[in-house]
Structure 1
Amino acid sequence: MLELQDVYFTIRKDGADHNLVDQVSLRIPAGHFMAIVGPSGCGKTTLLKTIAGLQPESAGALLWEGRNLATEGDFAPSEIGYVPQFSVAYDPLTVDESVEAATRLRVRSKSTADLDHRIDRVLEETGLTTISDRLVKVLSGGQKRRLGLAMELVSDPKLLLCDEVTSGLDPRSEREIVHLLHDLSRKDGRIVLSVTHSLAHLELYDSVLVLHEGRVAFHGPPDKLNHYFSVKDTEEIYPQLTTRSAESWQASWQKHGVAYDQMIARNREKLIQKGALLLPAEVAEGEEPPAVKEPGFFSQFKTLLSRRWRIFLRDRGQVMLQLAILLCFPILVTIFSDKASGNIRKFSDTRQSDFIAEIQEQQNVRADQAKVGSAISGIIMFQVVLLALMGSNNSAREIAGERPIYEKEKFGGLRPSAYLASKLAFLSCLVVAQSLWMAFFVNYFGEFRGDFFQHAIFLLLINGAMTSICLGISSLMRTAEQASLLSIYLVGFQLPLSGAVLALPEHIEAFTRPFISAYWAWSGSVDALQTQVHTAVKSIIDTSLSVKGACLYTLAIHIGIGVIVAWAGARRAQWE
């Protein structure tokens, strides 16, 4: 039994309170199929999200099996299923892979046979068995809605909430989906609530809830709709609602509601007597059904990481982009590497007797230092900035680009820790491959004049720092476009604010330097140069170079900050 007692959902707008859900009271028994209808903006989706707990009620109470959800514990993830308007599956996966991933993320299976049985049963229930090997991207709208339902049914939820699952479908597909939802409500005492703007196929529902400006205008059997609203055709109900205020409709309903609730109860008894509505023995006897156990952290982590690699490898465009970056960026660096291979003349050990010759020698040494030092400094910074750009490309869209699906999976019991760990594991592979390839490729075609391994470590750290920070940005942004734009700006400011090309004013430099990852990677790599080359770089850069330890610690802190921000963003709910 689901019960709503004077439920409100209120927002603050233009300095005043507005009730999007206004004093809604309902009693919905097990095995009930209810439509929530009403004109656009009447609060249908808002009510559904309030029931789901995606937005807590402002007043009133929600009770599930006699339990107050606000004070005695919310829905367990396995108790409730929520099918949103958007697709909850990844296009590169097949139907079977999508359902399998959903099962592994939501249900702890006893064995592989148990897992396969659950998947096969759900595919059969939703009519997807014959197309289980098709990619999601080639499915029709109706097939995607069926897939969304299948991915919710893997945990056998007792309450299934569907938000506009028939919108945008052709009449035949709409009829098939409504019939499917009707059949699902007849199994195991499952309550199915379906928000819909359409007034077709209402005869399949046990009851219809009509909302008007957040208030209940009607709740009763579908065959009583026309009589109650004094219309000849169901399509005339919405225009009829506008003839009176929402307060007037609500007041009218409060006078007649009890009688219509009794009609719903009588119809339910008839269905049970005819055997059209079968309740499980546990529900009928008031016993608790066996709970579905959730998988552990490592199980979810393994499933997410495997799925992420499968999606990546099947995205030909993304694979080609990564290969192009991996090959082209190091080649760009080597084009300029010849300029860094020149010799730097040393001062002679004996003092020149000719003053002019001594001046000439100093000028030659300084010219060599300027030429080679400038080239080496520029090439190191070029590598650093390119790897920062790779880091931005790695993760800017990683969370923001799949935020709706992630929020849906988190609602179903996905641990944010498992999700973030899978992202870090996947991105770490990209960072290591990109950074080490850049280091070895450039060194092979133009030897690094210093401690190569120290330089490679700093290339790894700059890529890791920028990947981590952009992952944090991605976790905070609502859209992938916002995250990408902000990440590109962040990379763009790395070079001018690093002080590696032009020294900044001291008062600006002291403020910006701690935040510029590129400076610390560049400075740490310069610190690894041979003494003579290091001196050459210092001779042309009017800025203080930090020591190796400070650079390592600072970049590690940048990585840590990025991970912490990503963790905070991943935990925060960002439902639209």
Structure 2
Amino acid sequence: MLELQDVCFTIKKDGESINLVDLVNIRIPRGHFMAIVGPSGCGKTTLLKTIAGLNPESSGGLYWEGRNLSVEGDLEASDIGYVPQFSIAYDPLTVDESVEAATKLRVAVRDNEELDHRIDRVLEETGLAAIADRQVKVLSGGQKRRLGLAMELVSDPKLLLCDEVTSGLDPRSEREIVRLLHDLSRREGRIVLSVTHSLAHLELYDSILVLHEGRVAYHGPPDQVTHYFSVHDTEEVYPKLATQTSERWQSSWMKHRAPYYSKLDKVRTKLIDSGALHLPLGVVNQPVSTSSQGESAPAAEVGTTVLEKVAPLTSPAEETPKVRTPGFMTQFMTLLSRRWRIFFRDRGQVFLQLAILLCFPILVTLFSENANGQIANLSDTRQGNIVAEIAEQQTVKRDQVTVGSAISGIIMFQVILLSLMGSNNSAREIAGERQIFEKEKFGGLRPSAYLASKVAFLACLVLAQSLWMGVFVNLFAPFRGGGGGFESHIIFLLLINGAMTAICLGISALMRTAEQASLLSIYLVGFQLPLSGAVLALPDSVEFFTQKFISAYWAWSGSVSALEPKVLHAVKSVIDTGLAERAECLYMLAFHVAAGLIAAWIGARRHQWD
């Protein structure tokens, strides 16, 4: 039994409190299929999200089997299913793979046999068994809606909430989806609530809830809607609502609802007696009304009046086993495996990564010729000819400028290119799938498992890109480092790529859209070169504040500081920016990586359901 007692959801607009859901009182028994209808903006989806717990009620109470959800916590993730308007599946995956991933993320199964049985069962229930091998991207609108239902049914939810799952479908597909929802409500006493703008196929519902400006204007049998609103056709209901204020409709309904609730109870009893409605063992006929007058019990009396009139759903011996949520490692491995599968099936992304991996190091080698030059030494014996001494000094200076500029420039070029790679790696990684992630988090996905899978996937890209950049350049265009300079350079290449990848992952987690995350990440990379001070020295006042936040400076400075003394002297002769110690550069880049991951963790945990 689901019961709403004087439920309100209030927002602040221009300093004024506005009730998007206003004093809603309804009771929905087990095995019930209800439509929530009303004109656009009347609060249908807001009410559904309030029931789901996505919108915390501002006042009133929600009760599930007599338990106050506002006080005792939300429903278990396995007890509730929510099918949103948007697609919750990845296009490159097949139907079977999508349902398998949903099952592994939401249900702790004993073995593969139980996993396969659960997958096959929901595919049969939703009519998807015949197209299980098709990719999501080739499915029709109706088939995608069925897939969304299948991915929610894997945990056998007792309460299924559907938000506009028939919108945009042709009449035949719409009726098929409504019929499917009707059938699902008849199994295991499941409550199915469906938000819809359409007034077609109302005869398939057990009851219709009509909302007007967040208030209940009607809740009763579908065949009584036209009678109550004094119209000839259901299409006239919405224009009729506009003839009165929502307060008057709500007041009128509170006065006249008793006979309509009585009819709902009689129809329900007939369904149970005829066997058309199958309730779980131990579940009794739960009335919509709690008294002969059809009045809902006050919230304070839920613990007595309701429970006296409605028998317990099951006896302790008959309770079905609770569906357990999988552990961290199961969710982590499922997500990581799915991410790699999606990556390799996205040919455009694979080709882009290969092109970047091959072309960027080649670009570096094109500018590396001057970095291989020799730096002349001053004679140990003093020249007697002053002209010769000046010429020698000029030669050394010229060599230092040529080699120093080239080596400094090549290191910075590699650093900037790897920063760009890092931005490309993760700028859209979370923001691009925000809706799917929020939906899976609602279904029991741990944010820690999700973020860990992203870090593991991106770490592989960072390793491949950074190592290949360093090794390729060293093989085909080695520049003079010495003294362990190459190994140190590799470490800083890894760190700059890792730092930028982590920071952009944090941006992706904090932004609401992929476009916002991509734009901000591009700006971040664009500022790396001018603010690093490697090309033009910054004013001291600016450098003091900006340098700490520029990953490129620390990677460039650390790599340059590890060069052999002669080459380092050549580089210092052509730059005006001071170089930090190698250890300090390592610590700062590690801090950037940590800051990015912390931001990603905050963004992953934060509720950002649209």
Q: TM-score, normalised by structure 1?
A: 0.99
Question: Does 2:530 align with 1:503?
Answer: no
Report the equivalent of 2:343.
312
Q: Report if the CA contact (8 A) 1:282-1:289 is conserved.
A: no
Give the 3-state SS of the residue equivalent to 2:124 in structure 1: helix
Structure 1 residues 246-325: aligned runs within 5 Å: 246-284=246-284, 286-287=313-314, 288-325=319-356
In the TM superposition, residue 157 of structure 1 has moved relative to its aligned partner by: 0.1
Q: Distance in 1 between matches of 2:147 and 2:400?
A: 66
Q: Report if the CA contact (8 A) 2:372-2:479 is conserved.
A: no
Q: Report if the CA contact (8 A) 1:160-1:190 is conserved.
A: yes
Q: Which runs of 5+ in 2 are unaligned?
A: 285-311
Give the 3-state SS of the residue equivalent to 1:281 in structure 2: coil
Structure 1 residues 430-460: Cα deviation after superposition (integer angstroms, max 9, x where no partner): 0000000000000001113222111001000
Report the equivalent of 1:136.
136
Question: Does 2:105 align with 1:74?
Answer: no
User: Match of 1:462, as an amino acid?
Assistant: I
Report the equivalent of 1:228.
228
**Given the alignment, which residue of 497, 505, 512 partners 2:546?**
512
Give the 3-state SS of the residue equivalent to 2:149 in structure 1: helix
Give the 3-state SS of the residue equivalent to 2:364 in structure 1: helix
User: Match of 2:582, as an amino acid?
Assistant: K
Question: Does 2:180 align with 1:153?
Answer: no
Q: Distance in 1 between matches of 2:399 and 2:73?
A: 74
User: Match of 1:512, as an amino acid?
Assistant: T
Structure 1 residues 206-242: Cα deviation after superposition (integer angstroms, max 9, x where no partner): 0000000000000000011010000011111001111
Report the equivalent of 1:4.
4
Report the equivalent of 1:406.
437
Structure 1 residues 309-365: Cα deviation after superposition (integer angstroms, max 9, x where no partner): 000000000000000000000000000111111111111111222222222221111
Q: Distance in 2 between matches of 1:234 and 1:289?
A: 41
Q: Report if the CA contact (8 A) 1:439-1:459 is conserved.
A: yes
- The alignment-based identity, stated in percent, is 75
In the TM superposition, residue 367 of structure 1 has moved relative to its aligned partner by: 1.0
Report the equivalent of 1:448.
479
In the TM superposition, residue 282 of structure 1 has moved relative to its aligned partner by: 4.5
Worse-matched range after superposition: 554-563 or 11-20: 11-20
Report the equivalent of 1:243.
243
Q: Which runs of 5+ in 1 are unaligned?
A: none
Q: Report if the CA contact (8 A) 1:283-1:289 is conserved.
A: no
Question: Does 2:29 align with 1:29?
Answer: yes
**Given the alignment, which residue of 534, 537, 554 partners 2:568?**
534
**Given the alignment, which residue of 420, 426, 433 partners 1:389?**
420
Q: Distance in 1 between matches of 2:425 and 2:414?
A: 16
User: Match of 1:427, as an amino acid?
Assistant: L
User: Match of 1:238, as an amino acid?
Assistant: Y
In the TM superposition, residue 544 of structure 1 has moved relative to its aligned partner by: 1.1
Structure 1 residues 322-337: aligned runs within 5 Å: 322-337=353-368
Report the equivalent of 2:382.
351
Q: Distance in 2 between matches of 1:118 and 1:253?
A: 43
Worse-matched range after superposition: 153-162 or 59-68: 59-68
Q: Distance in 2 between matches of 1:336 and 1:286?
A: 76
Question: Does 2:602 align with 1:568?
Answer: yes
Q: Distance in 1 between matches of 2:505 and 2:408?
A: 29
Q: Distance in 2 between matches of 1:360 and 1:70?
A: 86
Structure 1 residues 500-534: Cα deviation after superposition (integer angstroms, max 9, x where no partner): 11110111101101100000000111012111110
RMSD between superposed Cα atoms in Å? 0.8
Report the equivalent of 2:288.
none
Give the 3-state SS of the residue equivalent to 2:70 in structure 1: coil
CA change 1:282–1:300 in 2 (3 A) is farther
Question: Does 2:495 align with 1:468?
Answer: no
Q: Distance in 1 between matches of 2:258 and 2:157?
A: 29
Aligned residue-pair number: 576
Give the 3-state SS of the residue equivalent to 1:463 in structure 2: helix
Q: Report if the CA contact (8 A) 1:308-1:426 is conserved.
A: yes
Q: TM-score, normalised by structure 2?
A: 0.94
Q: Distance in 2 between matches of 1:78 and 1:286?
A: 17
User: Match of 1:509, as an amino acid?
Assistant: E
Structure 1 residues 402-432: Cα deviation after superposition (integer angstroms, max 9, x where no partner): 0000000000000000000000000000000
Q: Report if the CA contact (8 A) 1:2-1:28 is conserved.
A: yes
User: Match of 1:499, as an amino acid?
Assistant: G
